[in-house]
Amino acid sequence: MNTSTCIAMSTMKPCCRMLVSCRRSLIFGFQFPKCNHTILNNLSKSQCQLRHNRAICGCSDRVLGFRSAIGASGNGFCGSGSDWGESRGFRGGCVVDRGGGRGALGVVSVASDVRHHSTSVEGHVNEKGFERIYVQGGLNVKPLVIEKVERGGDVGNEKVEEEEPKVGVNGANVNVDKSKSFNGENILTREREVSEIEKEAWDLLRGAVVDYCGNPVGTVAASDPADKLPLNYDQVFIRDFVPSALAFLLNGEGDIVKNFLLHTLQLQSWEKTVDCHSPGQGLMPASFKVRTVPLEGRNGEFEDVLDPDFGESAIGRVAPVDSGLWWIILLRAYGRITGDYTLQERVDVQTGIRLILKLCLTDGFDMFPTLLVTDGSCMIDRRMGIHGHPLEIQALFYSALRSSREMLTVNDATKNLVAAINNRLSALSFHIREYYWVDMKKINEIYRYKTEEYSTDAINKFNIYPDQIPYWLVDWIPETGGYLIGNLQPAHMDFRFFTLGNIWSIISSLGTPKQNDSILHLMEDKWDDLVADMPLKICYPALEYEEWRIITGSDPKNTPWSYHNGGSWPTLLWQFTLACIKMRRPELARKAVALAEKRLSVDRWPEYYDTRHGRFIGKQSRLFQTWTVAGFLTSKMLLEKPEMASMLFWEEDFELLENCVCSLDKSSRKKCSRFAARSQLVG
Ligand code: GLC
């Protein structure tokens, strides 16, 4: 084939800057009624046509010729063959103004077919490569087409046929319960009059919605009209949008979520650099901002541009490892709640999933199946001593792997990836269940650990010195109940209780059924420490004195019992609610929701609360924080319709437990430790 890829910017009213593919006729699968004829104006008519409101552009191989045909405004882009590399970053022909490395003009939609402009990247999993994914050498647009299409169908064909549930790989079931549908009987109807507080919350949530080219694409992090210095709280954060998305989905409003998923997908392959270093291709931004900027050379005309932040502007330059994981988790939720599975089946969406997974599953120096990350790579996005293998990332990673396994189309091209996912799922759950779990019995074992054991069958595998057991824990750990510790590294166990990680271990079944039950039991037992006056503590206990100075770097925002350092975050409520419903303890969630309901509106929906019992609105807390509002609404709706909650969590997957790839058996010199552990863990 000699069709080249051609991308053009269009001007629209309100003007959207977008790239139009010549081979993919439908941008994101949407039609953009406002984005039509002007596209044509920007393109050579012999090369581009509009059909049925779809911008279609066919280019010849003469790239440079096409480029100049677009004109001096620089609003066009056309790549072909080896010229792609040269066109990198949309400089000199299309997206301009990358001044200062930031504020690059946004790309709404990109070319789908880069088949002929690519270098191949091969993943490596268990000595078998992933399917070959063709990507462009460093180009900041999304590599959208893989060598083989998902179902042997026409790549460009947006109409996706209903598929049979997908086949098992590694003996584990993949995909899919398609029985729930928006059009079916499971629509969440509002059966009762909502309370005044809920009405206020809905107004605030709707007021936080951000439009891009006339379509809703997300919600800002906070919208306090009195805040004169919003920093980046006027941006759409990926993680913050999740509760907003669920509130909308549970209320039967799927469009904003679909738009969000597709627009962030396009940002995934943005050219991102921090001091000339480019992080991996699959990275999702922490946040993005919609900017309306004057259109160059057009008096009085404006355009919307998307401006992502991959951490290059974030305080501390932290990479948002959790963004891609949340994106995958939300994609699954969208499918399950709306019944619209065509979104996850799209080629570009499938590629997006694979790129995220590729980043996460790439081999490194690791000895552990857990993801190795820097401090501040998740909700806790400032230094809090969670670098290494923090539980929160592992629980989200596990959830994203389980989501991906359900969503990935299984064919010859993906079967190795799916096998890698299954292997990782089983190794990860074993590792967390075995080594992160603490209860009275386990702490007593650690207390009596021998150290410096050199052998493959050491009991104290990570060489933990018993003196590490903190004083507070000795008194705190209840007789019954337990939890997963915050982090595990050689000679280091971080015994702090991190709420989000523990809750997501319950939701995703990363913990065993018994462990999940015990975690909730502990949360109930330690209600005064973890919930008290405002649900829920982000972690317990706070770092104080010298520990605070060294570990946080003397961070004035993270002083003891404030913000990430033992502050109380109402947004954790929806996730707690989900966990409680899963564990058949909705009354616990109701109790927490009732506490929050008493104060959130009166206190103007704070981002977080301070003090040991969460009595004060946080020192530097934003007001009208969207995920506080959305978390409250989502909790309410989940409690009202627990059957919707069941679409968002995962039960234990017993097949995964059978899946050990270490090839050690009972007769070998070295034994597979999982066989021994399995019987006590499954309970
Ligand atoms: C803070 C939080 C982070 C959140 C962001 C926007 O940085 O630590 O988790 O995403 O604010 O609300």
* Mutation pick for ligand 1 pocket among 224, 239, 392, 622 (CB with most ligand atoms within 8 Å): 239
Mean pLDDT of 535-544: 98
Contacts of 414 (CB under 8 A, 6+ apart): 131, 150, 354, 408
Atom of ligand 1 nearest to the CA of 235: 6
Task: Compute, in angstroms, the gap from residue 569 CA to the centroid of ligand 1.
Answer: 11
pLDDT at 221 over 70: yes
At what angle are helices 196-207 and 626-640 packed, to 10 degrees?
Answer: 130
Task: Place 276 in a pLDDT band, splitting at 50, 70 and 90.
Answer: confident
**What is the model's pLDDT at position 660?**
72
Structure tokens at 343: 């979104």
pLDDT tens digits, 227-246: 888 888 999 999 999 999 99
**Rounded Cα–Cα distance for residues 369 and 427 (Å):** 6
Query: Which amino acid is located at 141 in the chain?
Result: V
Of ligand 1's listed atoms, the one at least distance from the Cα of 240 is 10
Q: Regarding beta strands 209-212 and 215-219, do their DSSP bridges make them parallel or antiparallel, or are they unpaired?
A: antiparallel
Which has more pLDDT, 427 or 159?
A: 427
Residue 615 Cα to ligand 1 midpoint, Å, equals 21
Nearest to 638 by CA among 580, 591, 592, 572: 580
| Chain segment 419-476, per-residue pLDDT in tens | 999 999 999 999 999 999 999 999 999 999 988 888 888 888 998 999 999 999 999 9
- Provide mean pLDDT across the span 369-398: 96
End-to-end CA distance of the chain: 57
What average pLDDT score do residues 242-264 get?
A: 98
**What mean pLDDT is reported for the chain?**
76
Q: Which ligand 1 atom is the nearest neighbour of the CA of 626?
A: 12
CB contact set of 457 (below 8 Å; sequence gap of 6+): 670, 671
Rounded-to-integer distance, Cα 224 and Cα 537, Å: 23
Q: How far apart are CA 27 and CA 53, in angstroms?
A: 10
**pLDDT single digits (tens) 502-511:** 999 999 999 9
Q: Is the CB of 237 under 6 A from ligand 1?
A: yes
What pLDDT band is residue 665 in, cutting at 50, 70 and 90?
low
Secondary structure of 629-660 as H, E, C letters: HHHHHHHHHHHHCHHHHCCCCCCCCHHHHHCC
Query: How far apart are the CA of 378 and the centre of ligand 1, in A?
Result: 9
Q: Which atom of ligand 1 is nearest to the CA of 221?
A: 12
- Nearest-CA residue for atom 2 of ligand 1: 379
Cα separation of 324 and 357, whole Å?
Answer: 9
Q: Give helix 238-250 / helix 255-267 axis angle, nearest 10°.
A: 160
pLDDT in the model for residue 364: 85
| Ligand 1 site, residue 239, Cβ cutoff 6 A | yes
Least confident of 36-45, 297-306, 390-399: 36-45
- Is the distance from the beta carbon of residue 381 to the nearest atom of ligand 1 less than 6 Å? yes
Nearest CA to ligand 1 atom 9: 379
Ligand 1 touching residue 56 (CB < 6 A)? no
77 contacts: CB under 8 Å, gap ≥ 6: 6, 7, 8, 9, 19, 67, 70, 87, 90, 93, 94, 95
Q: Identify whether the C-beta of residue 518 lies closer than 8 Å to the C-beta of residue 530.
A: no
Distance 87 CA to ligand 1 centre (A): 35
Beta-bridge partners for 489: 492
User: SS3 of 673, please?
Assistant: helix
- Structural tokens at position 610: 């301070």
Q: What is the pLDDT of residue 318?
A: 77
Confidence of residue 146 (pLDDT cuts 50, 70, 90): very low
Which residues, listed in sequence order, are joined to residue 59 by a DSSP beta bridge? 4
State if residue 221 touches ligand 1 by the CB under 6 angstroms criterion. Answer: yes
Report d(CA 675, CA 380) in Å as an integer: 36
| pLDDT score for 456 | 82
Residue 467, SS3 per DSSP = helix
- Angle 672-676-680 (CA atoms, 0-180°, nearest 5)? 145
- For residue 268, how far is its CA from the centre of ligand 1 (angstroms)? 20
- Any idea which of 179-193, 481-495, 576-590 has the lowest mean pLDDT? 179-193
Q: E-assigned strands of 281-343? A: 287-294, 302-309
Tokens 């707690």 belong to 576
**Ligand 1 centroid distance, CA of 505 (Å):** 21
**If you measure from the C-alpha of residue 222 to the centroid of ligand 1, how many angstroms do you get, rounded to a whole number?**
10
